[in-house]
Amino acid sequence: MALPLMPKATAVWLVENTSLSFEQIAAFCGLHSLEVQAIADGEVAVGMVGLDPVANGQLTKEEIARCEANPALRLKLLVPDLPQVAARSKGPRYTPITKRGDKPDAIAWLLKHHPELSDAQLCRMIGTTKPTIASVRDRTHWNAANIKPRSPVLLGLCTHRELEEALAQVVRRGGTITPPVNVYEDDTEEDGDSSPYSTREEAQS
Protein backbone atom coordinates (compact mmCIF):
# COMPACT_ATOMS: atom_id res chain seq x y z
CA MET A 1 0.00 0.00 0.00
CA ALA A 2 1.35 3.44 -0.95
CA LEU A 3 2.09 5.72 1.98
CA PRO A 4 2.02 9.53 2.13
CA LEU A 5 5.22 11.56 2.16
CA MET A 6 6.68 11.81 5.67
CA PRO A 7 4.07 9.51 7.27
CA LYS A 8 4.75 10.51 10.87
CA ALA A 9 4.61 14.25 10.12
CA THR A 10 1.39 13.61 8.20
CA ALA A 11 0.00 11.73 11.20
CA VAL A 12 0.86 14.70 13.44
CA TRP A 13 -1.11 17.02 11.16
CA LEU A 14 -4.13 14.67 10.98
CA VAL A 15 -4.18 14.28 14.77
CA GLU A 16 -4.09 18.04 15.31
CA ASN A 17 -6.46 19.12 12.55
CA THR A 18 -9.08 16.40 12.07
CA SER A 19 -11.41 14.24 14.14
CA LEU A 20 -10.33 11.02 12.42
CA SER A 21 -9.90 7.99 14.66
CA PHE A 22 -6.46 6.72 15.61
CA GLU A 23 -7.10 3.60 13.52
CA GLN A 24 -7.94 5.65 10.42
CA ILE A 25 -4.82 7.78 10.76
CA ALA A 26 -2.66 4.74 11.48
CA ALA A 27 -3.94 2.88 8.42
CA PHE A 28 -3.30 5.86 6.14
CA CYS A 29 0.19 6.60 7.49
CA GLY A 30 1.37 3.01 7.95
CA LEU A 31 1.70 3.37 11.72
CA HIS A 32 0.35 1.46 14.71
CA SER A 33 -2.77 2.96 16.31
CA LEU A 34 -0.98 3.09 19.69
CA GLU A 35 1.77 5.19 18.12
CA VAL A 36 -0.86 7.58 16.78
CA GLN A 37 -2.42 7.76 20.23
CA ALA A 38 1.01 8.55 21.69
CA ILE A 39 1.35 11.38 19.16
CA ALA A 40 -2.03 12.75 20.29
CA ASP A 41 -0.92 12.55 23.93
CA GLY A 42 2.32 14.40 23.17
CA GLU A 43 4.55 11.43 23.98
CA VAL A 44 5.81 10.76 20.45
CA ALA A 45 6.99 13.14 17.69
CA VAL A 46 7.37 15.95 20.22
CA GLY A 47 8.18 19.19 18.41
CA MET A 48 7.60 17.69 14.97
CA VAL A 49 5.89 20.05 12.53
CA GLY A 50 2.86 18.45 10.90
CA LEU A 51 2.75 17.98 7.13
CA ASP A 52 -0.54 19.00 5.53
CA PRO A 53 -1.58 16.18 3.10
CA VAL A 54 -4.26 18.44 1.60
CA ALA A 55 -1.81 21.18 0.68
CA ASN A 56 0.58 18.73 -0.97
CA GLY A 57 -2.17 17.01 -2.96
CA GLN A 58 -2.26 13.66 -1.19
CA LEU A 59 -5.75 14.09 0.29
CA THR A 60 -8.80 16.23 -0.28
CA LYS A 61 -10.93 17.97 2.33
CA GLU A 62 -13.90 15.97 1.01
CA GLU A 63 -12.07 12.68 1.60
CA ILE A 64 -11.23 13.69 5.16
CA ALA A 65 -14.84 14.74 5.81
CA ARG A 66 -16.10 11.44 4.35
CA CYS A 67 -13.98 9.42 6.76
CA GLU A 68 -14.69 11.68 9.72
CA ALA A 69 -18.38 10.91 9.27
CA ASN A 70 -17.81 7.15 9.35
CA PRO A 71 -14.95 5.66 11.45
CA ALA A 72 -15.23 2.39 9.50
CA LEU A 73 -14.01 4.07 6.30
CA ARG A 74 -10.35 4.41 5.32
CA LEU A 75 -8.62 7.36 3.69
CA LYS A 76 -7.60 6.93 0.06
CA LEU A 77 -4.27 8.41 -0.99
CA LEU A 78 -4.34 10.59 -4.11
CA VAL A 79 -1.64 9.77 -6.63
CA PRO A 80 -1.69 12.56 -9.25
CA ASP A 81 -0.26 11.87 -12.68
CA LEU A 82 1.51 15.22 -12.72
CA PRO A 83 3.15 17.04 -9.82
CA GLN A 84 0.93 19.75 -8.42
CA VAL A 85 1.97 23.09 -7.03
CA ALA A 86 1.26 23.10 -3.33
CA ALA A 87 -1.13 25.92 -2.51
CA ARG A 88 -0.35 27.94 0.57
CA SER A 89 -3.03 27.50 3.20
CA LYS A 90 -3.77 29.33 6.40
CA GLY A 91 -2.24 26.42 8.24
CA PRO A 92 -3.41 24.49 11.27
CA ARG A 93 -3.85 25.88 14.75
CA TYR A 94 -0.51 25.33 16.43
CA THR A 95 -0.68 24.11 19.98
CA PRO A 96 2.58 24.72 21.87
CA ILE A 97 4.12 21.56 23.26
CA THR A 98 3.84 22.92 26.79
CA LYS A 99 0.06 23.29 26.38
CA ARG A 100 -0.75 19.92 24.82
CA GLY A 101 -0.99 18.31 28.23
CA ASP A 102 -3.72 20.83 29.12
CA LYS A 103 -6.11 19.54 26.44
CA PRO A 104 -7.81 16.91 28.68
CA ASP A 105 -8.55 19.65 31.26
CA ALA A 106 -10.04 21.84 28.54
CA ILE A 107 -12.13 18.94 27.22
CA ALA A 108 -13.43 18.27 30.75
CA TRP A 109 -14.42 21.93 31.14
CA LEU A 110 -16.29 21.99 27.85
CA LEU A 111 -18.07 18.70 28.57
CA LYS A 112 -19.20 20.09 31.91
CA HIS A 113 -20.25 23.60 30.89
CA HIS A 114 -21.24 23.16 27.25
CA PRO A 115 -22.40 19.56 26.67
CA GLU A 116 -24.42 20.80 23.70
CA LEU A 117 -21.23 21.16 21.64
CA SER A 118 -20.56 18.23 19.32
CA ASP A 119 -17.36 16.21 19.45
CA ALA A 120 -16.44 17.56 16.01
CA GLN A 121 -16.71 21.13 17.32
CA LEU A 122 -14.50 20.28 20.28
CA CYS A 123 -11.95 18.69 17.95
CA ARG A 124 -11.73 21.79 15.79
CA MET A 125 -11.75 24.26 18.67
CA ILE A 126 -8.94 22.84 20.79
CA GLY A 127 -7.20 20.55 18.30
CA THR A 128 -8.01 17.19 19.85
CA THR A 129 -9.50 13.88 18.65
CA LYS A 130 -12.81 12.09 19.21
CA PRO A 131 -11.18 9.11 20.98
CA THR A 132 -9.50 11.50 23.42
CA ILE A 133 -12.81 13.24 24.10
CA ALA A 134 -14.49 9.88 24.68
CA SER A 135 -11.76 8.79 27.10
CA VAL A 136 -12.14 12.01 29.12
CA ARG A 137 -15.94 11.71 29.16
CA ASP A 138 -15.84 8.04 30.23
CA ARG A 139 -12.97 8.64 32.66
CA THR A 140 -10.88 6.02 30.89
CA HIS A 141 -8.15 8.52 30.00
CA TRP A 142 -4.74 7.37 31.23
CA ASN A 143 -4.47 10.50 33.40
CA ALA A 144 -8.13 10.67 34.46
CA ALA A 145 -7.30 10.94 38.16
CA ASN A 146 -5.47 14.23 37.60
CA ILE A 147 -7.84 15.86 35.11
CA LYS A 148 -9.39 19.07 36.43
CA PRO A 149 -11.85 21.09 34.31
CA ARG A 150 -10.11 24.27 33.21
CA SER A 151 -11.31 26.84 30.71
CA PRO A 152 -9.75 26.41 27.25
CA VAL A 153 -9.80 30.21 26.91
CA LEU A 154 -7.78 30.60 30.11
CA LEU A 155 -5.42 27.85 28.96
CA GLY A 156 -4.90 29.59 25.62
CA LEU A 157 -6.19 26.66 23.56
CA CYS A 158 -8.93 28.76 21.94
CA THR A 159 -10.27 32.30 22.06
CA HIS A 160 -13.49 33.51 23.65
CA ARG A 161 -14.72 34.47 20.19
CA GLU A 162 -14.12 30.95 18.84
CA LEU A 163 -16.12 29.50 21.73
CA GLU A 164 -18.95 31.94 21.09
CA GLU A 165 -18.97 31.07 17.38
CA ALA A 166 -19.21 27.36 18.20
CA LEU A 167 -22.17 28.03 20.50
CA ALA A 168 -23.79 30.17 17.81
CA GLN A 169 -23.61 27.18 15.46
CA VAL A 170 -25.55 25.14 18.01
CA VAL A 171 -28.27 27.81 18.10
CA ARG A 172 -28.44 27.95 14.30
CA ARG A 173 -29.02 24.19 14.24
CA GLY A 174 -31.98 24.67 16.56
CA GLY A 175 -30.26 23.60 19.75
CA THR A 176 -30.11 25.34 23.10
CA ILE A 177 -27.04 26.34 25.04
CA THR A 178 -26.40 26.22 28.76
CA PRO A 179 -26.22 29.49 30.73
CA PRO A 180 -22.94 31.34 30.16
CA VAL A 181 -20.07 30.89 32.60
CA ASN A 182 -16.96 32.92 33.28
CA VAL A 183 -14.45 31.47 30.81
CA TYR A 184 -11.61 33.26 32.59
CA GLU A 185 -11.99 31.29 35.80
CA ASP A 186 -11.06 27.69 36.51
CA ASP A 187 -13.41 25.30 38.24
CA THR A 188 -12.91 24.46 41.90
CA GLU A 189 -13.69 21.30 43.82
CA GLU A 190 -15.97 23.09 46.25
CA ASP A 191 -19.16 22.22 44.40
CA GLY A 192 -18.92 18.59 45.48
CA ASP A 193 -19.52 17.27 41.99
CA SER A 194 -17.88 13.83 41.93
CA SER A 195 -18.14 13.58 38.15
CA PRO A 196 -17.68 17.13 36.87
CA TYR A 197 -17.31 16.41 33.18
CA SER A 198 -19.74 13.64 32.37
CA THR A 199 -22.84 15.75 31.71
CA ARG A 200 -23.04 15.40 27.92
CA GLU A 201 -25.22 12.28 28.02
CA GLU A 202 -27.51 13.90 30.62
CA ALA A 203 -27.88 16.98 28.45
CA GLN A 204 -28.70 14.92 25.37
CA SER A 205 -31.22 12.63 27.10
Helices (H), ranges, the chain: 7-17, 22-29, 33-40, 61-69, 97-100, 103-113, 119-126, 130-137, 152-155, 160-172, 200-204
Residues 194 and 110 in one domain: yes
Q: Are residues 101 and 195 in the same domain?
A: yes
> pTM of the prediction?
0.47
Note the pLDDT of residue 127. Answer: 86
Residues 25 and 29: their CA atoms lie apart, in Å, by 6
User: Is there a domain that residue 1 lies in?
Assistant: no
Structural domain of residue 46, as residue ranges?
Answer: 7-69
Answer positive or negative: Cα dihedral of 179, 192, 130, 89.
Answer: positive
pLDDT for 125 equals 87
Residue 86: per-residue pLDDT: 54
Would you say residue 176 lies in a domain?
yes
CA pair distance 149, 151, nearest whole angstrom = 7
* Same domain membership, residue 101 and residue 51: no
- Is 88 within the bounds of a domain? no
Q: Does residue 74 form part of some domain?
A: no
Q: Does residue 103 sit in the same domain as residue 57?
A: no
Q: How many domains does the chain have?
A: 2
Whether residue 138 is found in the same domain as residue 191: yes
Q: Is the dihedral of CA 61, 166, 149, 158 positive or negative?
A: positive
Q: pLDDT tens for the chain, 205 residues: list them.
A: 578 888 899 999 999 999 999 999 999 999 998 999 998 888 887 888 889 999 888 899 999 999 999 999 999 988 755 455 555 545 445 556 656 788 999 999 999 988 999 999 898 888 888 999 999 999 999 988 999 999 988 888 888 888 888 888 888 887 777 766 666 666 654 444 444 555 444 444 4
In this structure, the answer to whether residues 122 and 195 fall within a common structural domain is: yes
Residues 104 and 23 occupy one common structural domain? no
Q: Are residues 112 and 200 in the same domain?
A: yes
